[in-house]
Amino acid sequence: MCGLVGMVLCETERRANSSVLERMTARLRHRGPDDAGLYIDGEFGVGVRRLSVLDPGGGHQPMTNEDRTVVAALNGEIYNFRALKAELSGKGYRFRTDCDTEVLLRSYEAYGFKCFETFEGMFAVALWDASRRELILGRDRLGIKPLFYARIKHGLVFASELKALLEHEGVERTVNMESLSHFLTLGYTPGPQSILEGIRQVPPAHYLRIGREGVESVEWWSLPHKRVHPGTVAEAEHDLADLLEQSVGSHLVSDVPVGLLLSGGMDSAVLLALMRDKTREPVKTFTVTFDEPSFDEGQAAREAAAWYRSEHHEILCRPSYVAEQLSSIVQSTDNLMANPAAIPLHLVCKLAGTHVKVLLSGNGGDEVFAGYPTYAADKLAPFYRMVPAVLHDHLLNPLVHALPASFDKLTWEYKLKQFVEGARLSPEQAHYWWRTIFTEKEKRLLFQSDVDRRDTFGVFRAHFERTQGNPDFLNRAIYCDIKTWLADMGLPLFDNIGMAHSVEIRVPFLDHRLIEYSMRLASSLKMPGLRLKHLLKRIMAHRLPPSTLRRPKAGFHVPLASWLCGDLKPLMCDVLTPEAVKRVGLFRVEVIERLKLEHLTRRHDHSWRLWNVLCFFVWQEAFLAKR
């Protein structure tokens, strides 16, 4: 696990600026406190900060081959590196280390661009082919590891985080207004754009070739979206269980201790069960608790920890932590994400960082095994569409919206309001609706002037159109969630916040073989009726505590609504003052004031909307207000 930065200039007579590269590299010290390296070859330069997880003594980066015709830098892990090393050794390639960076280097020498297809893992890489004077930037299949780039006057710069790119004076600090509009709706910026104008992401499962001819983007893997599995439920259970076992085993490859983020939910309990069978020492588990009963999963986590005899650690999350650490939390998200789950994640990673360098997470389990309640809503919506429009418009919808707002965790009142509002839309629009924070109408009222407000549904529409030929809507919805929510919020949130505390977070549910197999299964196998995570429950029926199997999905939520009315009210009011809103100059003061008033008087739960705006104000102060 590392942080990468670099540049390549258009004109070969120019030389990469070492002082700029050193400054960019230093900005990523949190991603790699153990080691640092810099390499310059004329117009090309690359810097690395290293968190030593494999071969701590021998994996210094950047790494070169013997004649310095290939330079490699790797952020992440190639889990099958030892198998690839044996294969390459059989072909005559010699190795000086026992780390995956050298396997990356030798694989490129042996297979060229085809090397990406041989890798199992999470990675963002920079390869410099000196003989061609060409830079290759590549990302793993699902975009677990981040990689950004920006064109500058005489070339291109790249980095693992925006904050490192901003150390280069040629990178503009201007908000991308289209991205900001999408952010207000979703709480994140859909790729390949970023929140900043001129900075883009290398898309997942792509590599860029950057040379004298310009920039070429190549997709080297695609997520399956057509049902082709003709087998039985028993066969699917057997195959998925085997793939999951293999994935957890490969994700435990490390020369340093590996722990687990343990919630009260099923996904992390599954990982704990499988880890216990593969490790000699008790698994170190880490949990966040809350004082608010409807949000606290501490007891459920303690039950799982006791069942598997883990070395359990927990920490209480209070609103005072947000008040003290808000700027740090928001800056950790980097590409501006406003998921309140960042709060407990930041806290628990800070705790875990004092014990381990690597954590496993259940991230991705809901996509692979169909666990989101929105998938049940997708199935129920066609029945609601049979309700006459006049009955919906004049009775049901007004009645549901007359229900008093509750600030408890995902109450039936909240779910019912969301469902009724979206259920009469098309299946694709309804699935998108259940993910929205600010609607297009609400954004028109919020923005002070006409900005680039392209309908955010267009982002989702593009992914649904790619799966148009698939009659299985559940798989189409999962495909869209993997390409949007998971790629641009779920994965970068965990990676960035983990690395803010020098902790590598791994995601065994997102092994590409497991996800490829799952995407080829019919929804009747994955989710018969409204039974979420049906196959995972069957696979683990005899290995999990009965209480875990029975517990409904809770999600990683915080009592933000009540906190904003209580302990965090001064913070919110101090940041979102009318003067500050006028100074930023993007939003209407009266709209922000109305949202605050309606929330503070508990007429409406605007916590997610207010959190979005609050995070943007804190983020722009940190990223845009200083050079």
> Distance between alpha carbon 138 and the CA centroid of its chain, in Å?
17
Concatenated DSSP letters of 210-226: EETTEEEEEE------S
Pick out the residues of the known binding site for L-glutamine: 100
State how far Cα 30 lies from the chain centre. 18
Residues 6+ apart with CB under 8 A from 399: none
3-class SS of residue 6: strand
Partners of residue 427 on adjacent β-strands: none
- In sequence order, which ranges of 334-482 are alpha helices (DSSP H)? 342-352, 365-368, 373-384, 389-391, 397-401, 412-422, 427-433, 440-446, 457-466, 473-481
Annotated catalytic, 2? yes
Nearest to 500 by CA among 205, 112, 160: 160
Q: Which residues contact 593 (CB under 8 A, 6 or more apart)?
A: 578
β partners of residue 196: 175
**Strand-by-strand arrangement of the 214-219 sheet:** 63-64, 70-78, 121-129, 134-139, 206-211, 214-219
- DSSP secondary structure of 14-57: S---HHHHHHHHHTTGGG-BSEEEEEEETTEEEEEEE---SSTT
Asked if 70 contacts 77 with a C-beta cutoff of 8 angstroms, the reply is no
Dist. CA 514–CA 368, nearest whole Å: 8
Alpha carbon distance 582, 588 (integer Å): 8
**DSSP per-residue letters across 285-316:** EEEEE-SSTTT--HHHHHHHHHHTT-EEEEEE
Residue that is written with structure tokens 């994965």 in the block:
491
| Number of residues that this document lists for the chain | 627
Residue with tokens 């600010």: 438
Q: In whole angstroms, what separates CA 112 from the centre of its chain?
A: 29
Q: Report yes or no: 20 and 46 within 8 Å, Cβ to Cβ.
A: no
The first and second tokens of residue 263, run together, are: 């919630």
Question: What span, in angstroms and rounded, lies between the C-alpha atoms of 269 and 307?
Answer: 10
Residues forming the annotated binding site for ATP?
A: 261, 288, 361-362
Q: What angle do CA 510, 261, 460 make, to 5 degrees?
A: 40
Identify whether the C-beta of residue 267 lies closer than 8 Å to the C-beta of residue 323: no
Q: Give me the active site residues, please.
A: 2
